[in-house]
Amino acid sequence: MSAERLEALRRQLRQQGADGFVLQRTDQHGSEHLPPGEERLAWLTGFTGSAGQAVVLQDKAAVFTDGRYTVQIAQEVAGDLFERCDSTARPPSKWLEAELQSGVVLGYDPKLTRKAERQTLERLCRNRGATLRALDVDPIDAIWQDRPPPPLAPVVAHDERHAGESSPAKRQRIGEQIAADGADWLLVTACDSIAWLLNIRGSDVPFNPLCLSHLLLAADGSARWFVDPEKLEGEPVVDATVETRGYAAIDDALDELGAAAARVLVDPTLNAVGFADRLARAGARVVEAKDPIPLAKAKKNETEIEGALAAQRRDGAAVVRFLAWLDQQPLDGSLTEIDAAAHLHDERARDPLFRGPSFETISAHGPNAALPHYRVSETSNRPLTAGTLYLVDSGGQYPDGTTDITRTIALGQPTADMVLRFTLVLKGHIALSEAIFPEGTAGGQLDMLARQFLWRRGLDYDHGTGHGIGSYLCVHEGPQRLAKRGGDTALEAGMILSNEPGYYQPEAYGIRIENLVLVEAAPMPEGGERALLCFRNLTLAPIDRRLIDPHLLTEPERRWLDTYHARVLDELSPLLDAPGKAWLERATAPL
């Protein structure tokens, strides 16, 4: 099937006057999780990971993804059709430098491509004597005969008692920033930004409560919202200062702004170039600046913080019930990864506020846990047996918060090697949890705190240490990050991030410990001169003491763990029955 689709794509490209095509795994909203009709990369190549690209030329093709998906790409993508590339070692730019021939016309979809990505392609084509061309019709869409239609899930209002601020107040606040940047309008294409700004939620996208739409926000706080009207049947979800138009009317609206010579703020790091191009062609003045919404959304207000704390307590109780249940299961192969994930889902679903998982649960036994973004399937499903580790990374969506937690569990007697590496990961987790840093510190500056003990042993992990978390929104939220690369946004009070160092032994086991943390003000020490920030742990669940070597922990580290476990016991005990509380007392006993 992939061979037929690849050949059909090449024929379509020739019909459009192009020799090649660069395919980004995204949609025109820049989404991570995509509805079925936007999964172009999976349709063409078979690769179903959340991060990837493909480049197709007339005589060769390649698929690119990062180290999280090394095994998955080998399993899903035909090596005789596509070269399978690690995007860290050999990104599309390097591949094109070697493969692009003079005279080639390389096509791209301007509504799936950001400015920096286009500039890279332009430079490559110029250096190789090739031509880069924006295609009016995405060639995948032109040949995808049974492409699923766009989702039409209803939109619902997100109650202000969970949001903590009205939509008009948010729009007024952001509108003032638009004016300060010298613009009349802000183009918003990111669905989570629209959901936050309008205090609405939807279910168009797997795991994220989002509605696929576009929005133009005026400096006076009024807005034009481009959304399928079928999603708005029922009670109004926005006030009269928000004009609603059809989803496809965004292009005409951009032309209208151009005819009026409007000044439109477009964030080139968030919005695809096709929107800015259309505005410029129509006569608008494109103001390139940071979209103020992501940072405002990242800094949770007091209502959202209280909601996160409440959601974490309920979620933590569900995780504890699951862990207690897992501890009682025989390790004879009768329980599988799929069974375990289903039981954890059922425990969360006991909460009447549970709205579904925040991402697909990573339920990974032994060698499967060595794949950081492993997804269990009927073919990969392993029975849970003794002598190795079980890693479960999961989360829930609740109206008052979004959760994400990873715990690594010893199945039977762990080896000395497992205990050593788990303890090193734990030491890094504690070091980051205990960090105190001045205002203005970026996430990338703190990343090494979590890696330092692994580094000293010549070990590391190939993923970021932390990502932002939304408030009943996306489980991966920017702009804040904790990572070697890309974590250049200063951390501010109110931001929620994950703290998830790990270690992965190929074909053997994987380790990750993940809590969510809240950035908050730290006490000013006597004689201090700069305002300080610190992290507050939000996640409540025990860390497996069977995998800890106490002799490798310092006294402050042991005290941190015992204090954390005492808090877990104190806050979750009222939510558990007697057997669950008894299990938790054992799991949180002092070292």
Tokens matching residue 171: 């729009």
pLDDT at 71 over 90: no
Which amino acid, residue 122? E
Handedness of CA 256, 258, 261, 266 (dihedral sign): positive
One domain for residues 122 and 203: no
Question: Rounded to the nearest 5°, which phi and psi values hold at 436?
Answer: -125, 130
Give, in degrees to the nearest 5, the angle at Cα 191 between 186 and 197: 60
Of 474, 469, 396, which Cα lies nearest the Cα of 202? 474
One domain for residues 215 and 107: no
Domain total in the chain: 3
Calpha distance 116→268 (Å, rounded): 8
Determine, yes or no, domain membership for 587.
Answer: no
Could you tell me the CA-to-CA distances from 476 to 6, 174, 298, 359 in Å, in that order?
A: 32, 22, 11, 10
One domain for residues 361 and 418: yes
pLDDT at 67 over 80: no
Question: Would you state the torsion angle of the CA atoms of residues 497, 499, 505, 506, taken in this order, to the nearest 10 degrees?
Answer: 0
Calpha distance 328→226 (Å, rounded): 52
One domain for residues 312 and 398: yes
Q: What is the pLDDT of residues 404-438, one digit of tens each?
A: 999 999 999 999 999 999 999 999 999 999 999 99
Calpha distance 137→120 (Å, rounded): 22
pLDDT at 497 over 90: yes
Determine, yes or no, domain membership for 412.
Answer: yes
One domain for residues 210 and 325: no
Tokens matching residue 121: 């392609």
Determine, yes or no, domain membership for 223.
Answer: yes
Calpha distance 476→500 (Å, rounded): 13
One domain for residues 126 and 215: no
Determine, yes or no, domain membership for 585.
Answer: no
Q: What is the pLDDT of residues 264-288, one digit of tens each?
A: 999 999 999 999 999 999 999 999 9
One domain for residues 175 and 319: no
Given 143, 178, 211, which residue is the final one in a domain?
143
One domain for residues 427 and 452: yes
Of residues 248 and 487, more confidently modeled: 248
Question: Rounded to the nearest 5°, which phi and psi values hold at 565?
Answer: -65, -35
Region 46-65 average pLDDT: 91
User: In this predicted structure, what is the pLDDT of residue 234?
Assistant: 82
Given 143, 178, 212, which residue is the final one in a domain?
143
CATH code for the domain in which residue 306 is found: 3.90.230.10
Which amino acid, residue 35? P
Given 143, 169, 200, which residue is the final one in a domain?
143
User: In this predicted structure, what is the pLDDT of residue 118?
Assistant: 96
One domain for residues 373 and 455: yes
Q: Which domain holds residue 49?
A: 2-143
Calpha distance 242→227 (Å, rounded): 12
CATH code for the domain in which residue 78 is found: 3.40.350.10
506: number of Cβ within 10 Å: 11
Determine, yes or no, domain membership for 151.
Answer: no
